[in-house]
Every structure is written in structure tokens, then in C-alpha cells.
Amino acid sequence: MRIELTLAVEAFPIAGRFVISRGAKTEARVVTATLRAGGHIGRGECVPYARYGESVESVCAAIESARAEIEAGADRAALQSLLPAGAARNAVDCAMWDLEAKTSGRRAYAAAGFARLVPLVTAYTLSVGTPEEMRAAALKAADRPLLKVKLAGEGDDARLAAVREGAPHARLIVDANEAWGEDSLVAQLDACARFGVALVEQPLPAGRDEMLAKIAHPIPICADESAHETASLAGLRGRYDAVNIKLDKTGGLTEALAMAQAAQAQGFAIMAGCMVGTSLAMAPATLIGQMAEFVDLDGPLLLAKDREPGLVYEGSTLMPPPPALWG
């Protein structure tokens, strides 16, 4: 079946600013891949991430390098060798899942082996800021059951105390985004335990996280920047208790599903995560969410404007994606 591939670079404004330890952004720039065949359309969205050496230009160039094979009918299995793990493969892989669903009339979740999709409770992210700013943000989000707290290193105790004061009953995830050092790690983890944090993401820089195998884990520690695809799991054993599976890291839903199954078999808890993107990027990740103990698919909640139709969020409860959106 002959396939037509088109690419689009789109920008979606963020409501306010999204701030982590590495910097701030005010919009989500995404690459959308659209596949057309036999009167059907499949779409996939990716978010290029500079931390991994990606840009919208490099992602588009990578997809263009495989255009001939994609348009000649390469399937998802072939795509795994055509493009490496990362945002470019994610956009095309998810578009292939969507096109297959539209062409066959069989929902993507069924093709992935799920009998149905259940609603998910997602974390809601609080950007890093001053304690006063974070207390105010936590107060506004205090009714949400799960908050993800971005931290940045020095002063994190005060930030965490402020968040806990603003949202005394919420379950908390802390995300340091590689900002902590070995000298402060034990004290930071102890502080998180005091404030009732349920999970800490990527406290140390990827590649410099050996200390995690040598210290007690008063709360579970989750690999994010250290965890990309199935092959990375072997190096995480003994250091991490959980893995954050993001489709932009794995290179699409196909590898994400394989990684989730392998992670479960190796004893890791799963977090279903995302970059800041639209509902089109979140929709396929809801399948990973079915396997996850922690779900962080709040990208559209952070945007000033989402795609239409988009996902339905009832507070922090994320409903399964409608077929008109994806899958």
C-alpha cells in the first residue's frame, strides 16, 4: 500500500511558563507526522528535546532520511531499524499505529493486547520557583490527588516544605531533573521522606548515578534521563526502583510497550511520562499508563490551547482517547 507522508512543525503556547532545573519555556514546539493511505489518515506527534541533542530541524531531517521506505510501506517492525530511538521515530511510529487503527477499524489498544482502556489519574506538574511561588501554585492545585514537583538543587528543602504547606493532602512526586549532587543526595532523600514524597525522579545526572547503588532508598527512585529504551534497563538494576517511560525517548509506542513489559519482568515499577505536548502526543501514552503505578500525562493541562478534538480531563482524571484524536 502506497503511503503519503507529510510533516508539520507546530507551536502551542504554554499557560504561563514551564520551568525545570535546566531552564524555562513558554511554548511547546512539536513535529507532527501524518500518513495518508487508502482514504485514511494516521497522525503522530513528537516533542524534540534539546537535552538529547534534538531540534525540530534535526527531527524533520531524520524522518526525511527514511521517507522513501516509509512511503513504500515500511511497517512498525521495519521502522525500528530505519530510525533510532528518539522523537523522530516516535512521531512516525504513533502515526503508523493510528493509520493501522483507521484502516482496520480495530482500536489501537486492542491491537496492543488490551481488552479496554480505563481512565487514569495523572500527576499535575508544578514548575520550580521560589518557595512563595511554589506554595501559591500548590494551593491552587491542592485538590488534585497527585502533584509532580520540579526541584533544582539548592533551596529544595524550602521549596518542598512550601508545596507541602500549600497542598497538605496531595500525593507528591519530586523531579530533580539531574540537579542534585552526591554530597547532598542523602539529605535530599531524607527531606523527601519527611514530607511524604512517594517517588523521586532522576536525582543525579545520567551516567553519574553510581551512588544510587550504594545508599538506602527511603523512598523509590525513578530513572528518567537514564532510561531510554529496553536496552537501557540492564544498567539501571540496583540503582533505580522505577523507570519513566516516555514515547519521545523510546522512539514510539512499539518500543515503549516492549520496554514496559521488560521493566515489569525485571521488577521495576513503571511511570508513564511525557514531554510538554498536546493531546495527540498523550493519547498513545495512555496505553503505557494502563501498566503504570504512576502516570504523568498532563501536557495538555499545561497548555494555553490544545488540539481539537483533544483528550478529556475531569480534574486530574484522564479519559481514554477518542478515535477522532488517535487510535
Catalytic residues: 150, 246
For 204-217, b/e burial (b = at least 16 CB within 10 A) is bebeebeebeeeee
Rg of the Cα atoms in the chain: 19
- Is 33 in a helix, a strand, or coil? strand
Q: What are the residue ranges of helices labelled H in the chain?
A: 56-65, 67-71, 76-82, 87-104, 108-111, 131-140, 156-166, 182-194, 247-250, 253-265, 279-289
CB atoms within 10 A of CB 53: 9
Sign of the Cα pseudo-torsion (26, 44, 174, 188, in order): negative
- Pairing state between β 23-37 and 40-46: antiparallel
With beta carbons less than 8 A apart as the criterion, state whether 185 and 203 touch: yes
